[in-house]
Amino acid sequence: VTDDQTDSATLGTAGEVAALRRIFPILPPATAATVGPGDDGAVIATPDGRVVISTDLLVHGPDFRLAWSSPFDLGWKGAATNLADIAAMGGRPTALVVAIAAPLDTLISDLEGIARGLRDACAALAPGVGVVGGDLSASDTLTIAVTVFGDLEGRDPVLRSGARPGDVLALAGSVGRAAAGLRLLFAQGIDDSGEPDAGAASDLVARRPAAVEAQLRPSPPIAAGSAAAIGGATAMLDVSDGLLLDAARIAVASGVDLDIDLHALQPDRDWIAGEAPELSEVSAEIVLTDGEDHSLLATFPADVPLPEGFRAIGVAREGSGHVLVGGADPAVRTAGWDSFAGWDGVAG
Amino acid sequence: VTDDQTDSATLGTAGEVAALRRIFPILPPATAATVGPGDDGAVIATPDGRVVISTDLLVHGPDFRLAWSSPFDLGWKGAATNLADIAAMGGRPTALVVAIAAPLDTLISDLEGIARGLRDACAALAPGVGVVGGDLSASDTLTIAVTVFGDLEGRDPVLRSGARPGDVLALAGSVGRAAAGLRLLFAQGIDDSGEPDAGAASDLVARRPAAVEAQLRPSPPIAAGSAAAIGGATAMLDVSDGLLLDAARIAVASGVDLDIDLHALQPDRDWIAGEAPELSEVSAEIVLTDGEDHSLLATFPADVPLPEGFRAIGVAREGSGHVLVGGADPAVRTAGWDSFAGWDGVAG
């Protein structure tokens, strides 16, 4: 056993080549790859003749706290949130590339943990998807940049702009779960001075495992994306920033109003009451305004059956980009997450 | 004029939406895009039925110093180095996605500068390539993550592993120019305490414009990549880490030895003597060991004419992954850039 292979080996002591030698075997292969990692570029099959692409950053500080997220969680979340973007276009995810910038003292075993999270999220959420390439660089700030690819299988992409008056507004997956977990972490996963604390987070996980898992390892309904496209969805996106804000994106892009029936979100409020009872009183606000479950919000013509996994939560009406709840202006704030306005500058 | 539009507006004061509103109009559109920025994902045409993908990070500190690189330079380099990876696979670049993580006090006008650099590099090096999507996040460390796409136009990708004994080793583009610029910056673009200094760099640019430009705004021969593939290249990569190191990658992957003729690199040494005369004495070392010109190094069967832009610089022989210079072991170090071993931890 050389020093590169011990648990104390870091990027700074072992170097890039040794790190990659340990990470590569963990990364999942992609069914679609004809050239995988190791050359100047990867090559993946795009049988449709088009490829869907999305990219997202996970940055230490605004996007995660190391006191709360394990390396495995970071890899899982980096895959899950990106896969949801392909699903939201009506595509079938095929592959990822992952670029990581990490401090010199980062343990290589932690990079292996990230790789395991990527692997397990792909296997659980989108079997056949793999990592076809990446980059590894030094940085003072741990940063994970994921770019994801998908195939449209001959269908039109489902944009945000296609909702029509009379359409049914429908949701696949949950709202409020990841947010409940985040609120618990900020309230209870901290030390006496209010800083994120691994011990407090561990105690919280023991009390509220489902809510914390929903935040740290979300499981968006990836297969529902292509099902929605096949089923005639007229508009779609993934709910990353909160139901009201993301619904407004469809409403504005489509030039309609969307009216949400809060009763249809009762199962989400019930889930919060069961898994995070201390948040029961604010569950209506959470399900309407908080994001990160990466569920799929879509509109369908009223005369088609909703695809499996979707439930009706409202309707589209003639209008000009407004979102209503029960026919009225929502009484809660609608601002979603803006990492520049919302980040307090703390990493943790 | 609202505050968002003034030159003093920052990401922290103006926010993500206002920043994107200023950046989007600058970004070049991609000919291949059927869905551009603004939805959950972009869609680009992949007429070949496959897509070539590569991703690279530019991180403040190990990869650039803000005292030396302007925002325009960063955008240019982010595009140029990624485009070279597609060329090195024998592909024609089609599109980029660009994710930027930046400190809260980053001027939006600096993000506009990055966008202009991306735009101008695409226009100069690969017309028709555009930015189809991205992400913008807060971070303590300015980080630019570029992912690039390309089409193979029905050809096989050119891997590193296809060189055969008897092949000609050929180069499109230069070696040593970017490195000469970097050595000048580290020697002369600094203040009295040795720190990167914008004023000293500006004085250096006035004396040595070509060398500094080669480092900060490299111009790899992108079109030579598909020309090489059409012309029968058996192996190829872009010279990012130094000629000896990158040649060794072909030699090892292909199971051959490569013998470089130093006389064939005399034009590169002459260029250094003319544009950076203080480096004349070490020009042989620079052209063999330093990288970042992103020229294309390829092997061709001996009986085919070299494509336009390529010059013979050596031969492939039976062997086991060694690189020779004039038939002998090179007398210079062959270690290329490793951001974990090589970075001094300073940002500047």
pLDDT one-digit tens code per residue, A6-15: 789 999 999 8
* B311 vs A341, higher pLDDT: B311
**Amino acid identity, position A134:** G
B145: its two tokens: 């993550």
* pLDDT per residue as tens digits for the range B41-63: 999 999 999 999 999 999 999 99
Which chain B residues are within 8 Å of A104, Cβ to Cβ? 340, 343, 345
Assess contact for A313 and A167: CB atoms under 8 A.
Answer: no
Characterise A162 by phi-psi region: left (phi > 0), alpha (psi -120 to 50), beta (else): alpha
Determine the angle formed by the axes of helices B71-88 and B209-216, rounding to 10 degrees. Answer: 70
- A272 to chain B, minimum CA–CA distance in Å? 27
Dihedrals φ, ψ of B72, to 5°? -60, -45
The answer to whether B109 and B72 are in contact (CB under 8 A) is no
- All residues of chain B having their beta carbon less than 8 Å from the beta carbon of residue A163 are none
- CB nearest A101 (choices: B51, B57, B236): B57
pLDDT tens for A240-263 read 999 999 999 999 999 999 999 999
Nearest Cα to Cα of residue A256 among A304, A305, A314, A310? A314
Contact call for residues B56 and A133 (beta carbons, < 8 A): no
Residues in chain A closer than 8 A to B48 (CB atoms): 46
Alpha-carbon gap: B332 to the closest alpha carbon of chain A (Å)? 21
Query: Rounded to whole angstroms, what are the CA distances from B179 to B216, B272, B290, B336?
Result: 10, 10, 6, 12
Q: Kindly state the average pLDDT of the residues B88-113.
A: 97
Buried (b) or exposed (e) across A241-252, using 16+ Cβ within 10 A? bbbbbbbbbbbb
- Please judge whether A49 and B46 are an interchain contact, meaning their C-beta atoms are less than 8 angstroms apart: yes
pLDDT-derived band at A1, boundaries 50, 70, 90: very low
With CB atoms and an 8 Å threshold, state whether B340 touches A12. Answer: yes
Which tokens go with A65? Answer: 């706290």
Among chain A residues, the shortest Cα distance to B61 is held by A139
Report DSSP state, residue A113: H
- pLDDT tens, residue by residue, B112-149: 999 999 999 999 999 999 999 999 999 999 999 999 99
Q: In the numeric block, which tokens belong to residue A318?
A: 């003639």
CA distance A249 to A232: 19
What is the rounded CA–CA span in Å between residue B306 and residue B313?
11
Tokens 């397990």 found at: A120
Both tokens of A174, joined, read: 């949950």
pLDDT score at B68:
96
Q: Is B7 exposed, middle or buried (0-12, 13-18, 19+ CB in 10 A)?
A: exposed
Given a contact cutoff of 8 angstroms between Cβ atoms, the answer to whether A165 and A316 are in contact is: yes
Strand segments (E) across A16-164 = 33-35, 42-45, 50-59, 92-102, 130-138, 143-151
Q: Which two tokens stand for residue B150?
A: 């390309």
Contact list in B for residue A62 (CB cut-off 8 A) is 137-139
Structure tokens at A200: 């407090």
Q: What is the pLDDT of residue B2?
A: 57
Place of tokens 């600096």: B110
Residue B1: per-residue pLDDT: 46
Rounded to two decimals, the pTM is: 0.94
